[in-house]
Amino acid sequence: MFRDAALVAGKDLRIELRSRVATNQVAPFAVLVLLLFAFALDPDRGVLNRATPGLFWVAVLFSSLLAVQRSFGLEAADGGRDTLRLSGLDAAGIFVGKATAVALQLLALQVVLGVGVVVLYDAHLTGPAQLVATCLLATIGLAAAGTVYGVVAAGLRVRETLLPLLVLPVVAPVLLAGTKAWEAALAGAPADGWPWLRLLAVFAVVYVTVGVAAFGLLLEET
């Protein structure tokens, strides 16, 4: 399973590196969202600075939708999906691979967004260990849940509108927990963040399990 996962993840990441869609479109979009928040909220009153954790995670959530759609858009062209099924790769391996590729892209994106909030919102990233732990756990959960629904929506004519409706309510706990954990770290009270990190870990475990168990069924039947 892990060998298959590495193959699929390697393939997706290679495509991203060569096509540069993630760097030329998704990352600029995420930074643009940060700019739009500044237009919507008064940048002079410190609102942006106080709301940094929430805005950061909303930007991550929106970008994750793009990353997931892109991940399955790759397979939609030229019958890639059928090729995947015929390849003999383990379905759980395909799931782990695709989710890993999405997760790695999201982590890179979070680095960009992290720099973005420091520069644009004057955020001071205190408690880096907790911030990074939050990012890692939240990203696993987002990538797993996104990949499960990505394959459900892939290939449908209404996928662009259906995917956000399916994914966003499901990952709402990630937004909540990620924001609260970041708030705790930035406020210098890391102990307040632990329950949220545990919640993120539970979310990640649940959706990785669901994905490993159900992906074969979804890949085959839709």
x/- map, 78-97, other proteins, by CB under 8 A: --------------------
- Residue 87 C-beta: closest distance to other proteins, Å: 21
Contact positions with other proteins (CB under 8 A) in 188-217:
192, 195-196, 199, 202-203, 206, 210, 214, 217
- Residue 99 C-beta: closest distance to other proteins, Å: 15
- Residue 58 C-beta: closest distance to other proteins, Å: 15
CB 34 within 8 A of CB 62: no
The long-range contacts involving 14-19, CB below 8 angstroms and separated by at least 24 positions, are 15/74, 16/70, 16/101, 16/105
CB 100 within 8 A of CB 9: yes
Rg (CA), the chain: 18
Contact positions with other proteins (CB under 8 A) in 119-158:
148-149, 152-153, 156, 158
Q: Is 172 in the site for other proteins (CB under 8 A)?
A: yes
Q: Which is nearer to other proteins, 30 or 94 (CB)?
A: 94
Q: Which is nearer to other proteins, 117 or 199 (CB)?
A: 199
Q: Which is nearer to other proteins, 27 or 197 (CB)?
A: 197
Among 136, 173, 190, 201, binds other proteins (CB under 8 A): 173
User: Please, which residues have CB within 8 angstroms of residue 33's CB and are 6 or more apart in sequence?
Assistant: 58, 59, 62, 63
Residue bearing tokens 């069924």: 217
Q: Which is nearer to other proteins, 35 or 165 (CB)?
A: 165
x/- map, 22-61, other proteins, by CB under 8 A: ----------------------------------------
Contact positions with other proteins (CB under 8 A) in 3-22:
none
User: Which residues are near other proteins by CB under 8 A?
Assistant: 148-149, 152-153, 156, 158, 162, 165-166, 168-170, 172-173, 176-177, 180, 192, 195-196, 199, 202-203, 206, 210, 214, 217-218, 221-222
